[in-house]
Structure 1
């Protein structure tokens, strides 16, 4: 009787999740499978299935330009992730531990304000701020600090990192805040009662318990950052391409969809491996703590 009831509940659950699951499968899996199929072709037509080849992947793995761009993308994404999480943690900590409970909702509301505008608009705003006749140069010139506008604050890797860190900061603040909110405050009081300083209590209690949120923030920032196309194009002036820009050139400018697809699949595989390695190294922080 119990087994029959369990089977009925299982069928009911499957009937509930089946429609969204199938929808997600079609929307997400179909494009990925299409890109994967393109990556094995010799031309851009899926109808010609007899010409499957591994030459595209061979070119991707042996081309020094691709290796340079991929390495640059990984390094920039890592720096952006580190800078974003380092900046986001104090903000999340302040909102969680220092703001009164009735005002936390207002702070979270303020943190989400950047989402009110388009990502593209925010990128162009940074170009206005960092530009030759932008806000920074105009202010420094007006104050007499410099005689001529600075030319090294735009169209470089530092400007790309700054723009991406600002754009993805809310994505890092929110998961860290959620993790901090789940910490039992009595554990912190117990640490201080045992003679630990505030710094050591933070290091031994708060930070380890907040690590699931930090790990979530790292993945949320790292994965989309490595595939960002707009910022390197606008803030980098097209002089510092990342892997997404290289894919765009192959797909659209050169109309080489097989090679562009191979680049995309390779980038996804590298991101997946890096993410899994990071999760493996931090697996002890992901365990549910009772």
Structure 2
């Protein structure tokens, strides 16, 4: 019964990942990959080779993914940006989901969910370009502030930096964060909240000790849904990030396409995946401790 799905996953997911993992331990050659094992694509200095009259000759030297200061800086920036985007998105999404679940009439909840999903109607690239227009020196924000007399000249720090990347990604992934939290809140038995109030708990403590722990499955889903793709996003940093907003995905694209260094690009990709797995497991561990502490 599961064989078609298993074959599909193996061919389109497991096989490419295994290939990238294998590439990360090979040697770079001019327009080809040399099947020679080496660890320097991760740590140390590596040599790329080219064929000169049938003889493999050293072409250039480059540093591994964890030895290059630029690679480390971009991986750290990507991690920080993803964590900030995840925190901002989930913190803003929870009140929206809570309001729709607890304060909107059941007959109007479908309308609210419909409005929340409206951003999905347009292309992701169009939404990114719209934020580029909004945050630009002649955009809506600067024009509005100057029209109100709040500022005398356009704000240049709104675009082409980490701030613009965070704002754009937080907006793009907001519906992904709202919907899982809403589903988790809808599953909460309202009698639990009434029992908490009957036992003398304040609304705030009822939220902390009853609502929040029961909604944590949705929060976990939101965190993972937002964190995992944002750390590997390269379109948004490319269009609105500028030099100060570049992330590790942009370096991976540059390494593959411009430098034609598949082993180093694969090592960068595997390193990014390792960071995602480590942070996700750490979050799940801390969340489990939190739930145990509230029992």
Equivalent pair of 1:160/1:232 in contact (CA under 8 Å)? yes
Bigger Cα displacement from structure 2, 169-178 vs 152-161:
152-161
Asked whether 1:258 is paired with 2:263, we answer: yes
Deviation at 1:101, TM superposition (A): 1.2
RMSD of aligned alpha carbons = 1.7
The residue that corresponds to 1:158 in the other structure is 163
Equivalent pair of 2:93/2:174 in contact (CA under 8 Å)? yes
Q: Residues of 2 paired with 1:140 and 1:277: CA distance?
A: 42
Which aligned pairs between 1:209-224 and structure 2 lie closer than 5 A?
209-224=214-229
Which aligned pairs between 1:222-261 and structure 2 lie closer than 5 A?
222-261=227-266
Could you report, residue by residue, the CA deviation over 1:25-77 in whole angstroms, capped at 9, with x for unpaired residues? 1111121112112111112677743x121111111122221111111111111
TM-score computed with the length of structure 2 as normaliser = 0.88
Q: Residues of 1 paired with 2:250 and 2:133: CA distance?
A: 22
Asked whether 1:275 is paired with 2:280, we answer: yes
Q: Residues of 2 paired with 1:240 and 1:170: CA distance?
A: 23
Which aligned pairs between 1:30-109 and structure 2 lie closer than 5 A?
30-43=15-28, 48-49=34-35, 51-58=36-43, 59-109=64-114
Could you report, residue by residue, the CA deviation over 1:190-232 in whole angstroms, capped at 9, with x for unpaired residues? 1111111111111111011111111111111111111110111
Deviation at 1:145, TM superposition (A): 2.8
Choose the corresponding residue for 1:208, options 202, 205, 213: 213
Structure 1 unaligned segments of length 5 or more: list them: 1-15
Deviation at 1:96, TM superposition (A): 0.6
The residue that corresponds to 2:55 in the other structure is none
Q: Residues of 1 paired with 2:16 and 2:243: CA distance?
A: 27
- How many residues are paired up? 271
Q: Residues of 1 paired with 2:32 and 2:259: CA distance?
A: 18
Q: 1:153 to 1:48 in 2, by over 3 A?
A: closer
The residue that corresponds to 1:6 in the other structure is none
The residue that corresponds to 1:27 in the other structure is 12
**Normalized per residue, which structure has more helix?**
1
Q: Residues of 2 paired with 1:30 and 1:98: CA distance?
A: 47
Structure 2 counterpart SS, 1:54:
coil
Bigger Cα displacement from structure 2, 253-262 vs 35-44:
35-44
TM-score computed with the length of structure 1 as normaliser = 0.89
